[in-house]
A and B are shown apart, each in its own frame.
Chain A
Amino acid sequence: MNLTISRTLLGLSFLALFTYTLLSGLDMPFRASMLPVLASSLALPLTLLALYIEHKKGNEKKSQAEESSGDLAVSESEVSADAFRRVRYFFLWFASLIASAHLLGFLIGLPLMVLIYLLANREPFKLSIFLSLMVLMILYWGFQKGLVLPLPRGILTTMLFGG
């Protein structure tokens, strides 16, 4: 997506969000609405001001570098076409990671997706297997046994092998 469209969309999302919270707040009883109404009424004009300042600055790259000074700055290499392609693949993998945790359970789904990521990035096979097994060990011994955390078994695993 074009950076300018993405930036505009983010600004508009804020405006829509604060309008919604303000209107919803007005429908709530006074005590519950105090903070949402006060915060939204302040946020709406401030968002408009922020967008105006951003628009006025014009130069997209310059403003990004300057404005991210309070946070970690975005480098040039992160906004290249190649970088966005890698990020798209990452999002796809990350969504698959969550889906596989839900379907196959944490103990199978997460190490499996770690292995897939490592092999897809041409990491050595033995190292990939080692790291995936390490994740499995951390999940099993660290979280399930150590912290007594009931890790979900996954919908498919439960269907196939029973609860």
Chain B
Amino acid sequence: MSTWDAVWAGLIHILEPTAFLYMMLGIIISSTLVALPGIGSKTAIALLLPLAFTLDKFEAICLIVSVWAVSNTANSITSILFAVPGGSGSQATILDGYPMARNGEAARALSAAFTSSALGGIFGAMVLAISLPVLKPLVILLGPPEFFVLILFGIAMVSTLSGKNKAKGLVIGILGLLISSVGIHLVSGIPRFTFGNLTLMDGLNLIPVTIGLFAIPELISLVASGSSISKMELNNLDSGRRQGIRDSFTHWWLVIRSSLVGVWVGMIPGLGSSVADWFAYGHARATEKDAEETFGKGDVRGVIAVDAATNAKEGGSLIPTLAFGIPGSSTLALVFGGLLIVGVKPGKEILTTQLDVTFSFIWLLIIASVITSLLCIIFIKPLAKATQVRPTLLVPVICALSVVGAFANSNNFGDIIVMATFGVFGYWLRLHGWPRPPLLLGLVLGPEAERHLWTSYQLYEWEFVLRPITGSLLILLALILGWPTLKKLFRKPKEVDA
């Protein structure tokens, strides 16, 4: 299949009526759930995975990818209206979005955020499309040892960027790898860590583990905090929409620069939305005219920069995911897991024989971003009202759906117990500052890591670590992990001199 054929086929696949309907369903569910207090994109995807499991390949891609691709858009609503970040990617939106809302420019801020979000999404997708010709030969060049180390690299990057105590993130990432090894070992037939339990013989399914690890602790957190997100009145949402759209196009150069920041952050596994928004805000503040005086007081450029970057990041994060099978973020690890279930395997195939699948991702990023932004601009008011739903109404309904979601995967009641166990475990981890995303990454990448490890050992024995690319990656990894300690060592003499 030529590249142009793949571009065309990718578009046709997602424009097929059923697939398109699932994309719309994904957009509506994602925008609504993300707008609800305490429900993030991971919870939305976790709850939808059982449904995706029953669909054909492109329908499932449309559903899962659209939920993920547009999850940053609706996040801005709570940030702008109530100064409560709707997600990790909309923290910096508060700085200028909330003052704008207080100045009576809520609609302008929201439509500027939604428009720049769409523009950022399109930019990210274009960068992904342009980078494909470079990625193809690179991926073909890599063998099992390189892929094994790249997987370790991905887990370590996500782990080390999970907080101040990096060792905690690494431990949780390794725990994810170990959990992936539960069940009968496919090649040797040896049961590993199953304790004779039939549910564990098949291994731990991604869906109940994900629902347990991410949805349940968030619900517990809602119960614990015991209050709705805001009791503020929703006024001044009618005027200023056109102005907001115009603002995004007037500041097109800022949109492009912020989108580039987003793509760059997205390409590095582990750096997520929570970093992209601050980087873009910092960049805009440092480079825009008179920003020092107006930023933080309700400058629309602060909103535009952040929202363009957080959505452009998604296109960038697909680059390591599709090419090397290393999800750029924990949410993408979940998307990746869902895609594996429907037979879409990142790596060589998706960039060669299944190029139409890759282009359907790119088209989805573009089309879903534009549709979501339009819907958000049109339905600003109902979406804003969704943010005021009481947790007491949300918690029981989502819990009931989580139980069915965990069961639906394999029609096995044992999976509900797995979900509940991981729910309690996830809450325990969260309570004590142990990051959960690396566990998911380890769980998803575990089987691939084990396969590449064994193949590498068969080909080169333990000497595979000495191969040029593998060795360089290992040294780079060691440098990244050891950098804080090295920095301290180099700084000490200066401090003593001073």
Contact = CB atoms under 8 A, between A and B. Distances in A.
Interface of A: 3, 6-7, 10, 14, 17-18, 21, 24, 28-29, 31-32, 34-36, 38-40, 42-43, 46-47, 49-50, 53-54, 57, 63-64, 66-72, 74-75, 77-79, 82-84, 86-87, 90-91, 93-95, 97-98, 101-102, 106, 110-111, 113-114, 117-118, 121, 123, 127, 131, 134-135, 138-139, 143, 147, 149-152
A138 to B, nearest CB: 7
Identify whether the interface residues of A are mostly helix, strand, loop, or mixed.
helix
Interface string B223-255: 111110000000000000000000000000000
B286 interface: no
B399 A50 contact: no
Contacts of B226: 77, 82-83, 86
Q: 10 tightest CB-CB pairs across the interface, nearest first?
A: A70-B162, A67-B433, A50-B167, A117-B396, A83-B224, A67-B163, A121-B392, A78-B224, A114-B396, A43-B174
Contacts of B224: 77-78, 83-84, 86-87
Nearest to B40: A72
A8 B95 CA distance: 38
Interface in B203-224: 216, 218-221, 223-224
17 contacts: A14-B175, A18-B178, A24-B192, A29-B190, A36-B192, A40-B178, A43-B178, A53-B165, A68-B163, A69-B274, A70-B162, A75-B225, A95-B420, A97-B403, A98-B416, A101-B403, A149-B411
B281 to A, nearest CB: 17
Contacts of B201: none
Contact of B171 (A36, A43, A67, A83): A43
B446 A35 contact: yes
A143 B404 contact: yes
Contact of A46 (B161, B171, B404): B171
Nearest to A115: B396
A32 B187 CA distance: 8
Contacts of A70: 161-163, 169, 274, 435, 437
Contacts of A31: 185, 187-188, 454
B177 interface: yes
A79 B221 CA distance: 10
Contacts of A46: 167, 170-171, 174
Contacts of B450: 34-35
Contacts of A24: 192-193
A123 to B, nearest CB: 6
Interface string B360-397: 00000000000000000000000000000010110111
A84 B403 CA distance: 23
Given A97-B403, A114-B400, A147 B51 contact: yes
A79 B164 CA distance: 20
A74 B395 CA distance: 18
Pick from A42, A72, A83, A121 the residue with the most CB of B within 10 Å: A72
Nearest to B419: A98
Contacts of B417: 98
Contacts of A34: 450, 453-454, 457
Given A78-B221, A110-B400, A32 B395 contact: no
Contact of B396 (A3, A32, A69, A113): A113
A83 B427 CA distance: 13
A74 B435 CA distance: 12
B108 interface: no
Given A83-B224, A123-B392, A35 B449 contact: yes
Contacts of A7: 432
A87 B169 CA distance: 26
A68 B437 CA distance: 11
Interface residues of B, number: 74
Contact of A63 (B165, B178, B187, B393): B165
Interface string B390-432: 1011011101110110011001010011001001100111111
Nearest to A110: B400
Given A10-B429, A78-B221, 15 more contacts: A3-B431, A14-B171, A14-B175, A32-B192, A34-B454, A35-B178, A35-B449, A36-B178, A40-B178, A50-B168, A71-B435, A77-B226, A97-B400, A138-B401, A151-B407
B434 interface: yes
Interface in B267-301: 274
A35 B181 contact: yes
A72 B178 contact: no
A40 B193 CA distance: 13
Interface string B143-178: 000000000000000000111110111110011011
B433 A63 contact: yes
Given A43-B178, A72-B218, A147 B54 contact: yes
Contacts of A138: 401
A69 B413 contact: no
A97 to B, nearest CB: 6
Nearest to B457: A34
A126 B238 CA distance: 32
Contacts of B167: 46-47, 49-50, 53
B174 A42 contact: yes
Contact of A64 (B50, B169, B188, B433): B433
A6 B432 contact: yes
A84 to B, nearest CB: 8
A81 to B, nearest CB: 11
Contacts of A123: 390, 392-393
Contacts of A98: 403, 416-417, 420
A68 B193 contact: no
B436 interface: yes
Contact of A68 (B399, B413, B435): B435
Contacts of A117: 392, 395-396
Contacts of A68: 163, 430, 433, 435
